[in-house]
Structure 1
Amino acid sequence: MTRLLFKSDLDRADLWTAALKKHKPDLEVEVWPLRAPEPAGDRSAIDYALVWKPPAGVLKTLPNLKAIFSLGAGIDHLFGDPELPGDVPVVRMVERGLTAGMTEYVVMQVLYHHRRMLDYRAQQRAGVWDELSFVAPWDRKVGILGLGQLGGDAAEKLALLGLDVAGWSRTPKEIPGVASYAGAAGLEAFLARSQILVCLLPLTEETRGILGAETFAKLPRGACVINVGRGEHLVEADLLEALESGQIDSATLDVFAREPLPADSPFWSHERIVVTPHVASITVPDTAAEAVVENIRRIERGEAPRNVVDRDRGY
């Protein structure tokens, strides 16, 4: 009997249980908090954990864990636990539904800024009928910070639309139609060409605060910023200052250091900022469960799971 612990305060356990059992009917799903009496409450019987923001120390109490699966693309919610088991593989959520959703959102927001829709919305409110200047897609330079599963797919799709797309990552990547910049040596040149900058980086100590005054100053004047990585990538005060000075023209923010976004945040009413409530991409239970079950089967065959986090790198 294979048992999996499910924990999330945001996702419906019944939908996930049904999706998991669809792909592995013999899987027993236990929902946190574990119940008594035994064996449902027997923590030693749990083989896998599929979780989002589990309470600190909980995973350490499951002595026979074979893998920890993140319910979302990010894994920083796990590595914030000082007692996270060090000998259990942590697996990132990589599934086609999550990837498709993020690409859809990024393409939508890039085109929104590219076609100056914030300006047209302002004209609509003012009752102004005026044709604004237009930039051909091949003259619009888009930069994607982070070329992992999500960033790479978004970059490729944007290139297919004819935009001039480049990406920056720790090591060089080969993506059709996308110029590759890598490492510290390539960052400044990458930023200098990025008229629309999209952040899809994992959150690490190296990337925390990367969307700040130093980065903004290296972008072309009047650039746009789209943050769909993590809220901690952005230095909020620096963005407001850059918007005030005109160095940054506009921004789309889907993630924030504090969520929900506080009611007194100036972002809510800022005319040059698009705010969405951390919905750029939502994990799809059916396709995500399929990916989780495939990794469980790999482990049961004695194979290594796919998309395991490199703890030294933090992603």
Structure 2
Amino acid sequence: MRILVHIDDAAGWQAALQQRLPNAEVFTSDQTVENIDYLAVWKPPAELLERHAGARGIINLGAGVDALLSNPGLPANTPIVKLRDAGMGELIADYCLYGLLHVQRDFDRYRDQQARAEWREHQVIDKSDWPVGVLGLGAIGRHVAGRIATAGFPVHGWSRSPKTLDGISCHHGEEGLYDLLGQVSTLVTLLPNTPETHHLINAETLAALPDGASLINPGRGTLIDETSLLEALGDGEREGRLRSALLDAFPSEPLPSDSPLWQHPRLLITPHMAGPTPLGAALDQVVETLEAWDAGNEVPTIDRDAGY
């Protein structure tokens, strides 16, 4: 079995895979090799995919496959497996809980007061009176929704098709989406990037949120129409309907230095760091997939048409 790895920590992945699969040959993408059986990659260059178009399978070393599916070098029929939660859910849940507490406990307002040397305490709103919406109930979305519910917040979850989760009020379809939007104080977006989810957070859906709601997006940058988001947030002189937003993903990354998002007083921006892939937690899934493929066993692959 010959495996080629392409990711920032390719050397670490190479060493870990070689240890777990001692009979395999594991290479990194900076080595010139041919006749590769499997690719384990994160955002590979098109020429790498073209050069190894004969690979029997591709493992996407992350949960989001939109960058891989839009890669012009992607072979048409090669099966693709993406990582499931693999430890990312715990990290993203921490990120969302931070963003949630940031507004629920008024840290955004205290930050503004500090700039004015203003000493004023705000009344604490009980967690039970702060409903949270989670869009996307895949492996990571379910984990995040569960952690938020365990922290004491009422949680509403939304998915394309009906789902049932303990402790979560589940909604689905277009009617369910607007039902959810109308009753949450904070909205968390964890949907994949597909044609159906592109700019799902737009002027219409933002207007469906209650006044003063906040937004957290550790999902895909393409979910949000940035023009509509800025309009909903208002500006330094005019307060908008939306209280604040915490954004971790953007359509173009790194976020261009001239983007108006950088300077907005009610935006908190992070550099796509909410859920990095922990090598240790992901390794079991990668090894399991490689061994199954090499043994000729069936492996659940992504639906290219659905986009996940």
Match of residue 121 from structure 1 = 111
Q: Identify which range, 141-150 or 236-245, moves more after superposition.
A: 236-245
| SS of structure 2 residue aligned to 1:96 | coil
Question: Distance between the aligned counterparts of 1:106 and 1:18, measured in 2?
Answer: 32
Match of residue 244 from structure 2 = 250
| SS of structure 1 residue aligned to 2:243 | strand
Aligned length, in residue pairs: 304
Question: Distance between the aligned counterparts of 1:302 and 1:139, measured in 2?
Answer: 52
Q: CA 1:155/1:184 → structure 2, altered by over 3 Å: closer, same or farther? A: same
The Cα of 1:133 is off from its aligned counterpart by: 2.5
Structure 1 residue 13 corresponds to structure 2 residue 10 = yes
Structure 1 residue 295 corresponds to structure 2 residue 285 = no
The one of 249, 253, 263 aligned to 1:259: 253
- C-alpha contact 1:165 1:178 (8 A) present in aligned 2: yes
Match of residue 173 from structure 1 = 163
Write the deviation string for residues 67-123 of structure 1: whole angstroms up to 9, x where unpaired. Answer: 211122110111112452232221111243222211111122122122121111122
Match of residue 2 from structure 2 = 3
The Cα of 1:21 is off from its aligned counterpart by: 2.1
Structure 1 residue 52 corresponds to structure 2 residue 42 = yes
What is the one-letter code of the residue matched to 2:26?
Answer: V
| SS of structure 1 residue aligned to 2:90 | helix
Question: Distance between the aligned counterparts of 2:53 and 2:181, measured in 1?
Answer: 46
Structure 1 residue 69 corresponds to structure 2 residue 59 = yes
Structure 1 gap ranges (5+): 36-40
Q: CA RMSD in A?
A: 1.6
What is the one-letter code of the residue matched to 2:185?
Answer: Q
The Cα of 1:263 is off from its aligned counterpart by: 1.7
What is the one-letter code of the residue matched to 1:65?
Answer: A
Structure 2 gap ranges (5+): none
Q: CA 1:53/1:117 → structure 2, altered by over 3 Å: closer, same or farther? A: same
Please show how residues 233-244 of structure 1 align to structure 2 within 5 Å: 233-244=223-234
What is the one-letter code of the residue matched to 1:298?
Answer: A
Structure 1 residue 313 corresponds to structure 2 residue 306 = yes
Identity of aligned residues (%): 41
Question: Distance between the aligned counterparts of 2:268 and 2:182, measured in 1?
Answer: 23
| SS of structure 2 residue aligned to 1:257 | coil
What is the one-letter code of the residue matched to 2:240?
Answer: G
Question: Distance between the aligned counterparts of 2:28 and 2:260, measured in 1?
Answer: 38
- C-alpha contact 2:53 2:75 (8 A) present in aligned 1: no
Structure 1 residue 225 corresponds to structure 2 residue 225 = no
Question: Distance between the aligned counterparts of 1:195 and 1:250, measured in 2?
Answer: 11
Question: Distance between the aligned counterparts of 1:66 and 1:119, measured in 2?
Answer: 54
The one of 23, 28, 32 aligned to 2:25: 28
The Cα of 1:152 is off from its aligned counterpart by: 0.8
Match of residue 131 from structure 2 = 141
The Cα of 1:16 is off from its aligned counterpart by: 1.2
What is the one-letter code of the residue matched to 1:15?
Answer: G
Match of residue 38 from structure 1 = none
| SS of structure 2 residue aligned to 1:46 | coil
- C-alpha contact 2:85 2:140 (8 A) present in aligned 1: no
Please show how residues 90-169 of structure 1 align to structure 2 within 5 Å: 90-169=80-159
Match of residue 193 from structure 2 = 203
TM-score of the pair, normalised by structure 1: 0.91
Q: CA 1:63/1:272 → structure 2, altered by over 3 Å: closer, same or farther? A: closer
TM-score of the pair, normalised by structure 2: 0.93
The Cα of 1:33 is off from its aligned counterpart by: 4.0
Question: Distance between the aligned counterparts of 1:102 and 1:27, measured in 2?
Answer: 33
Question: Distance between the aligned counterparts of 2:22 and 2:102, measured in 1?
Answer: 44
- C-alpha contact 2:85 2:139 (8 A) present in aligned 1: no
Question: Distance between the aligned counterparts of 2:85 and 2:185, measured in 1?
Answer: 30
